[in-house]
Amino acid sequence: MTCPQGIALVTGASSGIGLEFARQLAARGHALVLVARSTSKLEALAKELQAAHGTVVTVATIDLGLAGGSQKLWDFTESRGLEIEILINNAGIGLYGNHTALDPASVASMLQLNILTLSELCNRYGTAMGQRGKGWILNIASTGAYQPTPYLAAYGASKAYVLNFSEALAMELEDQGVVVSCLSPGPSDTGFFSDIDQRGIAVDTFAKGGRRSARAVAEAGLARLFAGRLSSIDGRMNRLKALSLRLVPRSVVARFSKALMTSKPSI
């Protein structure tokens, strides 16, 4: 499948995997719309990409964890005449802890970002892409989508939604010339797993030395998007672990996940 050369929109572009998506898309020659909450980080990245690649970069400081964020972003691009050909729904957050102890407002914001905003952006930009007869959408899930994960209960459930939603949406839009792909990264060298380090849980599973770099994850995501892959798990070992769980009773998987998420460092 031929790689497009239109404008790419990346959410959560100020750090981690989103930042690497922006760098790699700029290197491919795409103009960019970068979205996050931090104006200073986005502007610094825009200067970097403009200097390195001559990339046209538009910065949108929008909190997509708030209701109405997707409408605000849509209005932003429409008012500037920016026709989005590639949508990278990378923005997402996770909350660790006993679900009943979490702040309800924080959980609502996470679900707004991980589920509702992602769905709304797919609706708005997917509709426009379908009308033009071409477009590419990449949604970022997680290996957490493949099993229940105690102490990351709502986060894991939100990523299971992203996985199933993306695969269904891909079937709906394929006849309109729109490619939808879903990438499920495992432990990656990002801020989310830096927080895991501070908590000291499940070190054998999330050990820093075994994590994929944000750059490698972004490379895999773009390669699979432009190859038209429906969904994929990043990293060979992550694929083996996630897919093998399908052969195990869910009650066993849930108990194993609980033990894993409450284990202490072994080294």
Q: How far apart are CA 208 and CA 198, in angstroms?
A: 12
Examine the pLDDT at 144 and tell me if it is beyond 70: yes
Alpha-carbon distance of 206 to 200, in angstroms, equals 10
Provide the pairing of β-strand 84-89 with 231-233. unpaired
Instruction: Calculate what percentage of the chain has a pLDDT beyond 70.
Output: 88
Q: Is position 155 annotated as part of the catalytic site?
A: yes
Q: How far is CA 66 from the centre of its chain?
A: 17
Q: Is 134 a catalytic residue?
A: no
- Each domain of the chain, given as residue ranges in start order, spans 7-261
Instruction: Please tell me which residue in 72, 159, 161, 241 is annotated as part of the active site.
Output: 159
Q: What is the mean pLDDT of the chain?
A: 90
Would the CA dihedral through 68, 73, 76, 80 be positive or negative? Answer: negative
Active-site residue, from 125, 146, 151, 155: 155
Buried b (16+ CB within 10 A) or exposed e, 34-43: bbbbeeebbe
**CATH homologous superfamily for the domain 7-261:** NAD(P)-binding Rossmann-like Domain (3.40.50.720)
Quick: pLDDT tens for 75-124: 999 999 999 999 999 999 999 999 999 999 999 999 999 999 999 999 99
Q: What's the confidence (pLDDT) of residue 199?
A: 52
pLDDT digits (tens, 9 = 90+) for 1-36: 455 679 999 999 999 999 999 999 999 999 999 999
List the 135-140 sheet strands across, edge first. Answer: 57-61, 32-36, 7-11, 84-89, 135-140, 178-184, 231-233
Tell me, what's the pLDDT at 249? 87
3-state secondary structure of 153: helix
